[in-house]
Structure 1
Amino acid sequence: MNSQDAYTRLSTTIAASAIITRLRGVAHTARAAQVPIRAIAAHCRKMMAESTVRSPALAAVDRRLSVAPMMQRTDSHFRRFMRLLTRHTLLYTEMIPLGAILEGPRERSLRFDPREQPVALQVGGADPSGLAEAAGYSEAYGYREINLNCGCPSHSVQHGGFGIVLMRTPAHTAECVRAMVENTSLPVTVKARIGLDAQRSDAFLDDFVGAVAEAGCKTFIIHARSAWLKGLSPKQNRSVPPLDYARVHRLARKRPDLDIIINGGIRSLAEANQFLAQGLGGAMIGRAAWEHPWQFTEADQRVFGVDSSLPPTREGALRAHAPYVDRVLADGEPFHRVARPLVGLYRDQPKARRWRRALAETRTLDDALGHMTAA
């Protein structure tokens, strides 16, 4: 980065921080005074328009291939490493609860390195005014998309009244999405499932998607499993309910005006390309991206038709990643947190076990690499 680029980035960051502070003050005051959501959104848009922040025009988000938001997985450490393997795959944050954005240490929750782009923010919440505020922050922080989680079945999420339970109340979910759409120029997307408990009919999903689409959502990421809240744990809900890809295809045929992305059980780029060939807008890979990240070195060419300049070997990718690891370790981050996204790098390779042991027994990436070569 030259000095002019660095100065421009610094100036934009300072200006954006000022706007974020002002947006938070306006939204907090407005909520306390019970000001209507649309009035809050209109005022925040006016503030953004009058600010000195001028982000460069963003290209349309390419969702042909993406990595699913995964709790305790898709953090900044994971995304930085994935960018050494694929330049074009859309990456998501973990689901960030609305409270963490509005009341918590926001910088820690939302800040990310621009080198991780394209990145989408996934938020979990059910309060329209709070989600409108979060949508404004997502744009100010530079995300390419904001996604509302309507599929997570965890107990804490259920108790909070968001995630999968939002599928029970399409009208309220539509209100949430409308508030978000009115407070950002970013795409507002929704991630949901094909059904919930006994509600597994085509009509249930069609009605949900129809109501939310009318509120301004044009992209739906559909996990091709129902959620069974009665009798299954959140972990079991990731694998026990049967996959029904045909249901997602029927939705896509009924709603050609929408961008329908399929998710659930997709393990490889070949499977992702098959869904694209069948007319879906994109494929989202979840656990297979965490367990077998090296396959994404072929994603840019096989899915996007682009030859990116990528490290040709696993060791080369790790050495390219080392300066980042050294920097965050110097900032006090424990090595085990930085190393977690690297564990599956040698999956199905002869060195896999040695690599896992190297990460467990060392405290720097250089030492782990030395362990590998000291055979």
Structure 2
Amino acid sequence: MCQVRGVTEDYKNKKVKLAVAPMMDWTDRHCRAFHRHLSRNALLYTEMVTTGAVIHGDRDHLLGFSDIEHPVAFQLGGSDPADMVAASKIVEDYGYDEVNINVGCPSDRVQSGSFGACLMQEPQLVADCVAAMKAAVEIPVTVKCRLAVDDQDPEEALDVMADAVFSEGTDALWVHARKAWLKGLSPKENRDIPPLDYDRVRRLKARFPDRFIGINGGITTLDETEGLLADLDGVMLGRAAYHTPEILGEVDRRVYGEVCDDISPWKAVEAYLPYLQSRMEQGVKLPHMTRHMLGLFHGRPGARSWRRILTVETIKPGAGLDVVYQALEAVRPRDVSDEDIAPDIAEKTAEETAA
């Protein structure tokens, strides 16, 4: 069994190595619970939530999470130091392991609210937020930023931001290695334009050898992850972790060096089933949870049927775990022993076939 360490201690000892990025509409509590069954060590992030929503909204809905998700970080969107402090205290009281400041999202929504990537133009304001939050909470306060925005020079802009937030004690700086464009490109176009610049993040790390600097953006494999970790402290996976979550099943062994078996897709599903059942009993609709598993068997025989069954059958009235077992039968390998899949699942899928 791989041991889970506290994230606060991990940052102090530079042992946070891999995180799953905050992704709007994707990394909700059900997604995080599923990802946790693939890796016991990866740091998981919430979707970005604004300070106003945290302070005035339905907190249980916006901040509720399961104990199994630890270590889990909460990403805040905001720029007013007083509001950031108030929201951070709420986040800490809810039991999160970290609070992260969003200085990277380029959407119209964050621009109108004066937070996200536009804060690259106000490094001192970000530093003020870090200072105020560090004085108010005991959990790590981190920042996730871009190389620069619009016509800013990435060499200067990133250095100025890093100088500002590190001077106020941020526990980590995660850098999305692409400039954000607030004008002229849509957020979707900005996913690929302009090009990624990993070397710029490496140069920043050379300036701050004793500070935690992690990288995000376009990383799709653990081979890439291991290469980047030779120079940087952490790697943050985004769409690769969501669309092909099987990659997370090797993280504990390959990235964290744990002596443990990789988590197969079948074993991850088996571990996730009690969560599905429990949440359905609380009124959560099955497709709200199974949608995060659609890419699990990507590239394997039967993956298309797996996706179709989970997409079509879960929305039907009365759909339950039997639909998940039906989908599993579609990807059940014929040349693998039941023990390698997971005994409980093997038995249940056999029952579904017989029925």
CA distance in 2, matches of 1:59, 1:372: 38
CA distance in 2, matches of 1:93, 1:113: 12
SS of 1:267 mapped into structure 2: coil
Work out which of the residue numbers 193, 197, 205 in structure 1 matches 2:150: 197
Residue 232 (structure 1) aligns with: 185
CA distance in 2, matches of 1:303, 1:250: 23
Assess if the C-alpha contact under 8 Å between 2:291 and 2:311 holds in 1: no
CA distance in 2, matches of 1:330, 1:310: 30
Residue 152 (structure 1) aligns with: 105
Residue 314 (structure 1) aligns with: 265
Assess if the C-alpha contact under 8 Å between 1:322 and 1:366 holds in 2: no
Work out which of the residue numbers 333, 343, 348 in structure 1 matches 2:284: 333
Give the alignment of 1:183-194 within 5 angstroms.
183-194=136-147
The alignment status of 1:357 with 2:308, answered yes or no, reads yes
Residue 233 (structure 2) aligns with: 281
SS of 1:305 mapped into structure 2: coil
User: What's the CA shift for 1:371?
Assistant: 4.2
Assess if the C-alpha contact under 8 Å between 1:354 and 1:372 holds in 2: no
> Which whole-Å deviations, capped at 9, do the CAs of 1:246-297 have from their partners, x for residues lacking one?
10001000122321101100001111111111x2111111000001101111
The alignment status of 1:124 with 2:77, answered yes or no, reads yes
CA distance in 2, matches of 1:289, 1:172: 32
Residue 180 (structure 1) aligns with: 133
Residue 37 (structure 2) aligns with: 84
The alignment status of 1:59 with 2:15, answered yes or no, reads no
Mark the CA change 1:198 to 1:317 in structure 2 (over 3 Å): closer, same or farther.
same
Assess if the C-alpha contact under 8 Å between 2:8 and 2:139 holds in 1: no
User: What's the CA shift for 1:310?
Assistant: 6.3
AA aligned to 1:60 is D
Mark the CA change 1:201 to 1:116 in structure 2 (over 3 Å): closer, same or farther.
closer
Assess if the C-alpha contact under 8 Å between 2:310 and 2:327 holds in 1: no
SS of 1:173 mapped into structure 2: helix
Work out which of the residue numbers 51, 54, 66 in structure 2 matches 1:101: 54
Work out which of the residue numbers 257, 260, 269 in structure 2 matches 1:305: 257
SS of 2:37 mapped into structure 1: coil
Residue 44 (structure 1) aligns with: none
Work out which of the residue numbers 286, 290, 311 in structure 1 matches 2:242: 290
CA distance in 1, matches of 2:328, 2:249: 21
SS of 2:178 mapped into structure 1: strand
AA aligned to 2:119 is L
> Which whole-Å deviations, capped at 9, do the CAs of 1:114-143 have from their partners, x for residues lacking one?
111110111100110011112212221111
CA distance in 2, matches of 1:164, 1:261: 17
Mark the CA change 1:255 to 1:138 in structure 2 (over 3 Å): closer, same or farther.
same
Residue 29 (structure 1) aligns with: none
Identity, in percent, stands at 43
SS of 1:340 mapped into structure 2: helix
AA aligned to 1:350 is P
SS of 1:182 mapped into structure 2: helix
Work out which of the residue numbers 162, 167, 185 in structure 1 matches 2:115: 162
Mark the CA change 1:332 to 1:310 in structure 2 (over 3 Å): closer, same or farther.
farther
> Which whole-Å deviations, capped at 9, do the CAs of 1:176-196 have from their partners, x for residues lacking one?
111111101111100000010
Give the alignment of 1:203-222 within 5 angstroms.
203-222=156-175
AA aligned to 1:59 is E
SS of 1:204 mapped into structure 2: helix
Instruction: Out of 336-345 and 200-209, give the one that drifted further.
Output: 200-209
CA distance in 1, matches of 2:265, 2:167: 46
User: What's the CA shift for 1:57?
Assistant: 10
Assess if the C-alpha contact under 8 Å between 2:7 and 2:97 holds in 1: no
CA distance in 2, matches of 1:123, 1:148: 5
Instruction: Out of 287-296 and 168-177, give the one that drifted further.
Output: 168-177
Mark the CA change 1:318 to 1:307 in structure 2 (over 3 Å): closer, same or farther.
same
What runs of 5+ residues in structure 1 fail to find an aligned partner? 1-55
Assess if the C-alpha contact under 8 Å between 1:148 and 1:190 holds in 2: yes
User: What's the CA shift for 1:63?
Assistant: 1.9
What runs of 5+ residues in structure 2 fail to find an aligned partner? 1-5, 315-319, 330-351
User: What's the CA shift for 1:361?
Assistant: 2.2
The alignment status of 1:135 with 2:88, answered yes or no, reads yes
Work out which of the residue numbers 192, 214, 229 in structure 2 matches 1:261: 214
SS of 2:73 mapped into structure 1: strand
Assess if the C-alpha contact under 8 Å between 1:196 and 1:227 holds in 2: yes
Aligned CA RMSD, in angstroms, stands at 1.7
User: What's the CA shift for 1:166?
Assistant: 0.8
User: What's the CA shift for 1:58?
Assistant: 5.6
